[in-house]
Amino acid sequence: MRLETKKKAIVNIVFYALIIILAVLIFKYALLWLTPFVIGVIVAIVLQRPVDWLTKKTKLPRSVWSITLVIAVFVALSAIVGLLFFRLYVEASGFVMEKLPQYMPVLTEAANNVYSYFQDILKDMPASFNDTLESMSSSISATITDTLTSVVKSVGTYAATHLPGFLINFVVSIIACCFITKDYYRITGFLERQFSPEKWEIIVETKGHFTKNILKMLKGYGIIMFITFSELFVGFLIMRVDYALIIAILVAVIDIFPVLGTGTVLIPWAVIDLITGNYSRAIGILVLYAVITIIRNVIEPKIIGDQVGLPPLLTLIAMFLGLQTFGLVGLFAFPIVLIVLKNLNDTGKIKIWK
């Protein structure tokens, strides 16, 4: 009996190891190619119950409601994104037209003061040193100009070359969503026939755990974003920053992404204030940045761990390994995978640890 148990355990370990290896390969190499279909699966799962209910209540074909709801979802998302970008454009235009001209005289004066300071230092230097310095200055200026020109050209080239691909992916995503939503039960029925009842039960339970924990993780990051927003908004109000609400919202959203963070906005802002002589606000922004960074690093593993049911240390390890392995996707995916494995192990569906 013990031999049979060991054999079953080995088979389970090999089975889940193959699934993990396959998932890693898909995430690392094929996810970008499969993005439209991944979106289709996610949208189909979300729309499954509304489509079922509408089909039952109206007696119209499932295909009609599948296409209608998919188009409604994409139109709504496009409208939301468009409004956000439009609002951002309006705020940025207002800043450029109203605030930037106010800073230009201060920036010019600061640049002149720096220039005069170095002129006083260098006037007693040998002529050869000044010639070398002037040559270096010209070289640096030319390099900066060339770099900026290259960046502008690269952005334009990137947009021109990737826009057709984006449009194709967008259209394919809509079509895939329609087909997968319409044939959802046919697809799941086909997949169910490929597995034994025991394995299929595990797959269904895994899907349920994934869905539940993704929602919990979104809730956790929503809490973190609200805390960051509150800190920023209160700090900006104390410093009497214009457009405090809008800026706090934008920086809080940026802070969710570990590659960016609040420092992407706050550090350059503090540097500009130092250059323009607004020392009190520069110090205030740097203090605010330090407070937000410390609080974020302390509360993130705790909040995410509490939401998904993992100890903070394991959550931190999973987030770090995910970020190092798969970047932003891994940061969110690894804790979810770990809690799904824990739930399956706790319910006895799989046996990985005691």
| Res 287: pLDDT | 92
Helices (H), the chain: 2-25, 31-58, 62-94, 100-122, 127-182, 184-193, 197-238, 244-255, 263-275, 279-308, 312-326, 328-346
CA distance 117 to 138: 19
* Residue position matching structure tokens 């039952």: 56
Tokens representing 340 are 């799904």
CB-CB contact of 176 with 73 (8 Å):
no
Q: Where are the domains of the chain?
A: 196-354
Place of tokens 């079509």: 175
- At residue 323, the pLDDT reads 76
Quote the pLDDT of residue 104: 61
Task: Please check whether residue 153 is in contact with residue 41, taking contact to mean a CB–CB distance below 8 angstroms.
Answer: no
pLDDT of residue 38: 81
- Tens-digit pLDDT profile for the chain (354 aa)? 466 666 666 766 777 677 767 766 666 666 677 778 888 888 888 888 888 898 888 888 888 888 899 999 889 988 988 887 777 777 666 666 666 566 666 666 666 666 666 666 666 666 665 666 566 666 666 676 667 667 666 766 766 777 777 788 888 888 888 888 888 888 888 888 887 887 787 777 777 777 777 777 778 888 888 998 999 999 989 988 877 888 888 888 888 776 677 888 888 888 888 877 788 888 999 999 999 988 888 887 778 777 766 777 777 787 778 777 777 667 777 777 777 777 777 766 666 666
Q: What's this model's pTM, rounded to 2 decimal places?
A: 0.58
